[in-house]
Amino acid sequence: MNKTKWPARSVLPVAVPGVKYIILAILVTGMSFYFGWMVSAWVAAVLGVFVCWFFRDPERTVPEGSSNLVSPADGKVIIADRLATSEYLDGPCQKVSIFMNVFNVHVNRNPFDGVVEKVEYTPGKFINASFDKASIHNERNALTIRTPGGKRFVVVQIAGLVARRIVNHAAAGHRVIRGDRYGMIQFGSRLDLYLPMDFQVQVRKGDKTLAGTTIIGRMPDTP
């Protein structure tokens, strides 16, 4: 896992962690053309375009409404269910999982206002993130957040089959703002949300989501 300073607003059209890869791609492409290695040059150029596209970081309009919890990731809802127990919250809870494929924007955003109470990084495997067992076996980073109304929820970044690098900027004690960027998972993965039982889920399995824009549901007891 890597911690990277993350601006509230994007200074560049690409995510901060991607800048070094883009610079490397430009250098390799330039050197290949300079020395006349044309095949290598064009391959490097194509890869460079892909890297720029993968690390794109568009601005998003966060919907109004203090009780609205927004999606932490672009992707597709693969789980929207109730659990009798979980490793992150005491007692029963609700779980919403969002799978990100390689074509999605991979910048993660804070789902709701609050204070980070705990950060738990767990090393693990790199099983296909669309499988249920990825939630418990894969490398992951979990943030437990307490809302202004006293509710607790957890958002978990989970590495996948191709994703091998979790970037997280949040730390215990940080105050987070709904819709702001806090990290990313490089090259495909998933985000799990563990929510209170009285949370009003508004998405279903198969729904498409946009980070910071799609409303996952409403948080009860919002001041």
DSSP 3-state assignment of 149? coil
Torsion angle (degrees, nearest 10) of CA 85, 152, 128, 185: -170
Pure H helices in 55-150: 134-137
**Tokens found for residue 68:** 């609205």
> 122 Cβ partners below 8 Å, 6+ apart?
139, 140, 141, 142
Tell me which DSSP letter residue 91 carries: S
Catalytic residue among 71, 97, 135, 189: 189
Q: Is-catalytic flag, 135?
A: no
DSSP-assigned letter for residue 62: P
What's the rounded Cα separation, in Å, for the pair 76 and 206?
6
Residues with a catalytic annotation lie at 189
